[in-house]
């Protein structure tokens, strides 16, 4: 195949999107603008209520960015994602309460527990077909909640309350809602960034290959099972840390916070925002968590609206409102030097 | 010199149907072998056994002297096999470059921590991925946009991308499943040249093909299959003269029409 | 990220900071307590109750009861020399997260006293929020022991506690001669609290025997498993401590299974829907409940007022919510201020304030000195006061 | 003990009725219809609306009235099922499975909260109640309504089985389940058959909803969620896509749950049945009666 390929066969619409809104969303600046907005918001309104709403929204963004790894990148439908948050919140709550430790010091234990949870849920089920997997994760989510409700170590139905704050050093009291808010925004933006970066790495590509075609991915030497398990574990870690923030924020953890509805809400944020596209997911999460607070009339019917939206978006825009962009920048000049390794054999 | 690929008494059955029934052959370094035979002869099933997508009922597959029978596809790929599929199996929503990068997954060069922290190692490794992907696209003569989803491309372009992806794996053994299907005459000629250049890289090629002209011109040895068995093997000239082959291909009625058609 | 972009970002942040500090109030840099009521404006009371979710009807009863008291007090001239009361109702949905959001909302709005709290599980995480804001909570319905266990100064329960309810239940069992009992809860915080307490008191007392203590999962239709377990033990009395939805089903299924003993329910099941769901099995079911207007002698006028105001019958916790508002007004008046600490002191000092549940005096742990629980019975599909009281 | 078996059988027949719809739809278009449990809820509410609009019904006529309401509700829920397929699933045929599943979750939410918006979030007491004599059989108490309802359920299942085995539509359904493209080539109107499948499956779930409302006496907008999952479990236990398997799975799950809650206590019942589901899916995804499907590329 020499160079005389008929290039006119290729479709014409190849470049980046042209509409100003898409351009804004694709811009590298948008992350910084969003962060600045989050940091400045308390200067506009800092009532306990608005801080509470904003902190809740930030935690929700963290959850959505975690689920995006599982559903968006890797294409595994997880209907029980909130279980990981439950594991994180309960682990943090139980340890910090029984040892009177600030929540920050429970994070190593939380990581261990959520990774374990990811392995326990993922290891036996990730070989299943995607629709079976969805139901199994839903089952695990419910099992987690009911177990927390029935055990005494988790405080039974009342759950755990009076959980110490994240940290207390001298005058800096993290229990202060504004300080907690800033800390949450900091942690969440770091994790959103990390998850976006993971998406654009070798592992992130492997997740997408698995999502698009498992057999082809296997043929390229990608251990699909391991890669899926990794997606699960990363998702679990994001969820578990969301749980720690949740415990710090509410100072209480109870089973009612981990019902299926919550998993579904996080899923809606990911799907409506745009599976696999971190910017879209963040916007989706903000819309889903803030809209009911802003529009009172909407709040009572939000689940109906979200449900209908899910169907409409799937039918008309299966990639979500802001899908992952399908193009990337190309090299400026033609590279004539063969890469050094190109003629070597093997790895 | 050990064979790059050694297949011995390979058998695979679905329920009662034996798709492959005692196939044996081997491929040596820098050799181009064609597997031909009527539809349903078990060619693709044999490929799927070699690459681990089917588990053989009995028999063995050795690649570079290593027993790979019954291993999972990813592990076999790691030993040194790469392949294309009968019907394109690209990642349709991903870009051309990303599709080729899939072939380089095994090179590593970065882990998840590098990715999160954007270490210098990560940046080097990403640059390497991009450079090599471009190199292999150039190698197969791919022209056109490389940063767009591959589903936007024409069929011929997609075929090239799939070969580039397989080459990027840089394995000693390349299995091509009907690479010429759906290509026009000039594209087939380019494919012929490309296969020679691939062999010059030191890669052995085993290909399934229906286009007899191409097969005769390209391959050093031909294996003819029918009903899951090998009915003839030899150089193009030998095979052409083999009465069993003539019967399998031309014996009855219009099977010969396949000689220049697609599956 | 190029340095150019970073500079732009810093510029944007800087500009926005200047704008916000110069302009609007209410932000971090603005001085003074945000949203606090001006000394002459209305005195705000916050009420976080379930407006949505499965407990929504009760939330409506509570809201109306509280509103009735607010209207009456305002008509009589308000508090603190003519300042009006204002009720702010927010949804808890029986969910911790929602309750916390709503609690923060009423705190931000500058309420002086909280008069809400229905689901114990949802009310628990709101305690620290009101405590930090130093706002006294007069909790009309939620009554889990966990609410007062932490010994927070600002928390006052004016519903009888699980403990007091259990005491009444046990006294009634003894007086009516039920010697064997099965305790069934629905695995919610409120319900479990009562069964745990009842079990403990029965064991300590020794004259009644607990044959079975079990939980069911709320929200299902088929409770044949627990029905079978009860039938196998055949206790003289089944004490159901969950809510009315499941209570009705269990009573109905017990009846169908041929259970001949009696059933008693706790206050969460006292709802006009219970007899409807329970069907024919409902007659003769007992309940431990604080007084409802229906059962209080001389409350006819109150009921008439309620009906006139809302065109609906009062329901569970209408009276408690009504009393919570009256109590809040009384404490504000006594304290002569809207400061949390003063109101708490005034609440602790109250002695003999007349309420539906009887004259009020708080115990040191801020619960009612007497629970005011009575025994109701279902007759002709309605809860009425039982002839025999413990 | 016999009581346990009887109770398990009774609950199991409800599971089986709903599981049938799951299994039929899955068998034909490989779609896990997440909203199927909500069709059951919809049936209960339609029955409720019909009975309420009929006004007071004397107790003597309640069974007859119930049968009429049952039929009408089945027609309406069947129609609803067809409509859902048209609007939410058909446009996605050929789309990734993830998209269809998410669409199904969306339908489930729309049904639940749509009903909550129309009928209010509070549980409703059913206007008629099936009360009747009680028999003592081998130490188990069985009531007349239970027997009537199980007979109705059994009748529906037998009729369905006949329909699938003996009629041309049934044959078409089975052939689509095997290979929908080949069926299309053989001149089968695939869309029409899928529509019919949704109609029948949804009608059966609607029937189960009305029956549950009349027997248990309480309905609410979330009643379909858990039972939908249970029915899916039943379908998996029996072998998803297999009609007889769905019936068997329903009965087995009924028993398993009855025994499970006996041993572990009622609060662990759901944990127990989900654990059974997970075990089956991981160890024997083809269920008891399911056939092994050879995986081909």
A 93-132 → D contacts, CB under 8 A = 124-125, 127-132
Q: What is the mean pLDDT of residues D52-78?
A: 82
Dihedral angle, C-alpha D172, D175, D176, D178, nearest 10 ° = 170
Q: In whole angstroms, what is the distance from residue B225 CA to residue B24 CA?
A: 11
Instruction: Name the token pair of D270.
Output: 């759901």
Q: What is the pLDDT of residue B205?
A: 94
Q: Which tokens in the block code for residue D297?
A: 């590329």
Residue D297: closest CA among B228, B80, B46: B46
User: Could you give the percent of chain C with pLDDT greater than 70?
Assistant: 88
**How is domain A50-326 classified at the architecture level of CATH?**
Orthogonal Bundle (1.10)
Please report the sign of the dihedral spanned by the C-alpha atoms of residue B49, residue B53, residue B57, residue B60: positive
Residues of B in contact with A334 (CB under 8 A): 134, 138
Given a contact as 3+ CB pairs under 8 Å, which chains touch C? Answer: A, D
Tell me what pLDDT residue B254 has. 47
**C-alpha C124 chain-centroid distance:** 11
Regarding chains C and B, contact by 3 or more CB pairs under 8 A is answered as: no
Q: What average pLDDT does this structure show over C209-216?
A: 90
For residue C203, with 0-12 CB atoms within 10 Å meaning exposed, 13-18 middle and 19 or more buried, which class applies? exposed
* Residue of B112, B168, B175, B203 to mutate, testing the A interface (most A Cβ within 10 Å of its Cβ): B112
Interchain pair A205, B156: CB under 8 A: no
Structure tokens of D25?
């739809």
Residues of C in Cβ contact (< 8 Å) with D131: 256, 279-280
Confirm or reject contact between A254 and chain C (CB < 8 A).
yes
Dump pLDDT digits (tens) for B215-254.
Answer: 999 999 999 998 888 888 999 988 888 888 887 776 654 4
Once rounded to an integer, what is the mean pLDDT over residues D98-111? Answer: 91
Would you list the domain boundaries of chain A?
50-326
Segment D163-184 shows an average pLDDT of 82
E strand or H helix that includes residue A204 = helix A202-212
Instruction: Choose from B12, B50, B54, B85 for mutation: most chain D CBs within 10 A.
Output: B54
Mean pLDDT of B65-69: 90
Among the partner-chain residues C214, C273, C280, the one whose CB lies closest to the CB of D265 is C214
At residue D291, the pLDDT reads 58
Domain B5-260 top-level CATH class: alpha beta
pLDDT exceeds 70 at position C320: yes
Q: Homologous superfamily of C43-159+317-356 in CATH?
A: Response regulator (3.40.50.2300)
Any B CB within 8 A of D292 CB: no
Least confident of B110-114, C233-237, D5-9: D5-9
Give the C-alpha separation, C102 to C100, whole Å.
5
Q: What is the predicted pLDDT for the residue at A173?
A: 65
The pTM for the full model equals 0.87
Q: Which residues of chain B are within 8 Å of residue A335 when distances are taken between CB atoms?
A: 131, 134-135, 138
Whole-angstrom distance, CA of residue C121 vs CA of residue C15: 44
User: Could you tell me which chain D residue has the CA closest to the CA of A146?
Assistant: D271
In this complex, the chains that touch D, judged by 3 or more CB pairs closer than 8 A, are A, B, C
Domain ranges of chain C: 43-159+317-356, 163-292+375-385
Listing DSSP states for A98-134 in one string gives HTT--GGGGHHHHHHHHHHHHHHHHHHHTTS-HHHHH
Tokens 């609440």: give the residue: C347
Q: Which CATH class is domain C163-292+375-385?
A: alpha beta
Task: Determine the pLDDT at residue D88.
Answer: 93
User: A16 or C170, which is more confident?
Assistant: C170
- Write down the domain spans for chain D: 21-224
Q: Do B157 and A5 touch (CB under 8 A)?
A: yes
If contacts are CB pairs under 8 Å, which of residues 159-188 in chain C contact chain A?
A: 187-188
Q: Where are the domains of chain B?
A: 5-260
| Tokens coding A142 | 């419910």
- Per the DSSP assignment, residues forming a β-bridge with D175 are none
Best CA proximity match to A47, nearest among C43, C106, C18: C106
CB D110 within 8 Å of CB A307 = yes
List per-residue pLDDT tens for chain A, 347 residues long.
333 333 333 333 444 555 666 666 666 777 888 888 888 888 888 888 889 899 999 999 999 999 999 999 999 999 999 999 999 999 999 999 998 888 889 999 999 999 999 999 888 888 887 778 888 899 999 999 999 988 888 888 878 888 888 877 666 666 678 888 999 999 999 999 999 999 999 999 999 999 999 999 999 999 999 999 999 999 999 999 999 999 999 888 888 889 898 999 999 899 888 888 888 899 999 988 988 878 766 777 888 988 998 899 888 887 777 766 667 777 655 444 444 443 444 33
B255 — contact with chain A (CB < 8 Å)? no
pLDDT value of residue C19: 44
Task: Give me the pLDDT at residue A158, please.
Answer: 79
Q: Is C195 on the interface with D (CB under 8 A)?
A: no
Which pLDDT score, from 0 to 100, does residue D164 have?
84
């Amino acid at each position: 195949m020499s160079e005389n390929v008929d290039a006119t066969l290729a479709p014409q619409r190849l470049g980046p999107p042209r509409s100003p809104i898409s351009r804004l969303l694709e811009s590298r600046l948008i992350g910084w603008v969003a962060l600045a907005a989050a940091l400045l918001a308390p200067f506009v309104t800092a009532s306990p209520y608005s801080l509470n709403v904003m902190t809740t929204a930030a935690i929700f963004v963290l959850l959505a960015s975690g689920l995006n790894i599982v559903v968006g990148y890797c294409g595994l439908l997880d209907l029980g994602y909130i279980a990981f948050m439950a594991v994180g919140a309960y682990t943090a709550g139980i340890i910090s309460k029984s040892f009177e430790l600030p929540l920050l010091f429970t994070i190593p234990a939380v990581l261990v527990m959520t990774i374990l949870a990811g392995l326990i849920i993922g290891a036996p089920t990730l070989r299943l077909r995607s629709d079976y997997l969805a139901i199994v994760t839903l089952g695990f989510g419910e099992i987690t909640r009911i177990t927390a409700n029935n055990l005494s170590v988790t405080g039974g139905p009342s759950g755990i309350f009076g959980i110490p704050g994240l940290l207390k050093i001298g005058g800096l009291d993290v229990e202060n809602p504004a300080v907690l808010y800033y800390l949450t925004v900091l942690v969440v933006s770091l994790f959103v960034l990390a998850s976006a970066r993971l998406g654009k790495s070798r592992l992130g590509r492997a997740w997408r290959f698995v999502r698009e075609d498992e057999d082809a991915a296997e043929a390229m030497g990608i251990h699909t099972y391991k890669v899926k398990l990794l997606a699960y574990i990363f998702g679990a870690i994001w969820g578990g840390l969301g749980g720690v923030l949740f415990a710090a924020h509410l100072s209480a953890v109870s089973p009612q916070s981990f019902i299926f509805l919550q998993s579904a809400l996080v899923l809606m944020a990911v799907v409506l925002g745009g599976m696999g596209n971190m910017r879209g997911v963040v916007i989706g999460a903000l819309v889903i968590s803030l809209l009911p607070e802003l529009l009172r009339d909407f709040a009572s019917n939000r689940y109906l609206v979200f449900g209908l939206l899910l169907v409409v978006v799937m039918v008309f825009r299966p990639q979500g409102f802001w899908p992952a962009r399908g193009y990337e920048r190309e090299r400026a000049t033609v590279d004539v030097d063969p890469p050094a390794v190109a003629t070597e054999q093997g790895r | 010199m050990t064979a790059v690929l050694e297949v011995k008494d390979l058998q695979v059955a679905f329920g009662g149907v034996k798709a492959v029934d005692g196939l044996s052959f081997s491929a040596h370094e820098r050799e181009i072998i064609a597997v031909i035979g009527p539809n349903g002869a078990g060619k693709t099933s044999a490929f799927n056994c070699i690459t681990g997508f089917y588990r053989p009922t009995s028999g063995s597959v050795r690649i570079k002297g290593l027993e790979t029978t019954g291993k999972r596809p990813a592990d076999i790929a790691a030993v040194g096999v790469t392949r294309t599929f009968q019907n394109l199996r690209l990642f349709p929503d991903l870009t051309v470059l990303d599709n080729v990068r899939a072939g380089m997954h095994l090179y590593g060069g970065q882990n998840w921590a590098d990715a999160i922290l954007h270490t210098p190692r990560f940046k080097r490794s990403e640059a390497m991925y991009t450079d090599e992907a471009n190199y292999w696209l150039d190698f197969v003569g791919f022209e056109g946009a490389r940063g767009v989803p591959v589903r936007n491309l024409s069929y011929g372009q997609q075929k090239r991308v799939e070969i580039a992806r397989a080459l990027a794996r840089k394995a000693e053994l390349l299995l091509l499943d009907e690479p010429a299907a759906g290509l026009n005459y000039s594209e087939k000629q380019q494919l012929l040249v490309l296969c020679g250049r691939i062999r010059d890289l030191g890669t052995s090629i085993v290909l399934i093909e229906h286009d007899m002209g191409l097969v005769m011109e390209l391959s050093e040895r031909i294996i003819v299959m029918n009903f899951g068995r090998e009915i003839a093997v030899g150089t193009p000239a030998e095979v052409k003269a083999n009465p069993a082959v003539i019967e399998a291909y031309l014996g009855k009625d219009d099977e010969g029409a396949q000689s220049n058609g697609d599956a | 990220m190029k340095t150019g972009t970073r500079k732009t970002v810093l510029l944007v942040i800087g500009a926005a900071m200047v704008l916000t500090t110069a302009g609007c109030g209410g932000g971090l840099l603005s001085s003074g307590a945000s949203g606090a009521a001006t000394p002459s404006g209305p005195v705000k009371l916050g009420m976080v109750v379930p407006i949505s979710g499965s407990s929504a009807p009760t939330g409506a009863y509570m809201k109306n009861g509280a509103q009735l008291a607010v209207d009456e007090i305002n008509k009589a001239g308000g508090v603190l020399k003519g300042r009006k009361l204002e009720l702010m109702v927010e949804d808890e949905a029986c969910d911790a997260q929602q309750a916390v959001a709503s609690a923060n909302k009423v705190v931000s709005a500058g309420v002086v006293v909280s008069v809400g709290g229905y689901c114990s599980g949802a009310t628990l995480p709101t305690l620290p929020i009101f405590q930090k804001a130093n706002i006294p909570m007069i909790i009309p319905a939620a009554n889990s022991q966990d609410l007062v266990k932490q010994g927070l100064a600002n928390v006052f329960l004016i519903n009888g506690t699980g403990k007091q309810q259990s005491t009444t239940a046990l006294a009634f069992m003894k007086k009516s001669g039920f010697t064997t009992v099965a305790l069934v809860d629905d695995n919610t915080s409120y319900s479990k609290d009562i069964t745990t307490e009842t079990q403990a008191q029965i064991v300590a007392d020794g004259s009644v025997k607990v044959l079975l203590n079990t939980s069911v999962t709320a929200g299902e239709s088929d409770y044949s498993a627990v029905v079978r377990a009860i039938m196998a033990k055949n206790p003289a009395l089944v004490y159901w401590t969950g809510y009315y939805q499941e209570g009705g089903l269990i009573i109905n299924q017990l009846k169908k299974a041929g259970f001949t003993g009696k059933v008693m329910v706790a206050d969460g099941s006292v709802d006009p829907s219970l007899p409807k769901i329970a069907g024919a099995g409902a007659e003769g079911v007992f309940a431990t409940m604080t007084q409802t207007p229906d059962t209080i002698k001389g409350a006819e006028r109150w009921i008439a007022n309620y009906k006139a105001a809302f065109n609906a019958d009062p329901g569970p916790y209408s009276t408690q919510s009504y009393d919570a508002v009256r109590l809040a007004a009384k404490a504000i008046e006594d304290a002569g201020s809207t400061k949390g600490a003063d109101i708490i002191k005034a609440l602790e000092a109250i002695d003999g304030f007349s309420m539906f549940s009887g004259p009020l005096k708080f115990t040191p742990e801020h619960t009612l000195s007497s629970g005011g629980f009575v025994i109701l019975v279902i007759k002709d599909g309605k809860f009425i006061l039982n002839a025999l009281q413990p | 003990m016999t009581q346990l078996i009887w109770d398990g059988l009774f609950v199991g027949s409800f599971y089986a009725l709903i599981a049938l719809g799951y299994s039929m739809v899955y068998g034909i278009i490989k779609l896990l219809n997440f909203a199927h449990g909500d069709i059951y809820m919809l049936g209960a509410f339609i029955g409720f609306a019909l009975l309420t609009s009929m006004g007071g019904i004397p107790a003597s006529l309640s069974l007859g009235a119930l049968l009429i309401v049952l039929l009408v509700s089945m027609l309406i829920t069947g129609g609803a099922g067809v409509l859902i397929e048209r609007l939410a699933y058909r446009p996605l045929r050929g789309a990734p499975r993830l998209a269809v599943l998410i669409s199904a979750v969306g339908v489930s939410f729309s049904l639940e909260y749509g009903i909550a918006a129309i009928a209010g979030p509070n549980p409703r007491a059913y206007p008629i109640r099936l009360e009747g004599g009680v028999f003592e059989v081998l130490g188990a108490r069985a009531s007349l309504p239970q027997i009537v309802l199980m007979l109705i359920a059994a009748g529906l299942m037998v009729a369905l089985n006949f329909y699938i085995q003996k009629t041309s539509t049934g044959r078409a359904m089975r052939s689509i389940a095997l290979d929908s493209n080949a069926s299309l080539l053989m001149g089968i109107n695939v869309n029409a058959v899928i529509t019919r499948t949704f109609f029948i499956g949804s009608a059966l779930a609607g029937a189960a909803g009305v029956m549950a409302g009349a027997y248990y006496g309480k309905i609410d907008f979330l009643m379909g969620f858990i039972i939908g999952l249970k029915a899916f479990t039943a379908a998996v236990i029996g072998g998803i896509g297999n009609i007889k398997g769905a019936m068997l799975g329903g009965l087995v799950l009924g028993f398993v749950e009855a025994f499970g809650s006996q041993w572990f206590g009622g609060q662990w019942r759901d944990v127990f049945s989900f654990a059974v589901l997970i075990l089956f899916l991981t160890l024997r995804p083809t269920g008891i009666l399911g056939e092994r499907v050879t995986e081909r590329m």
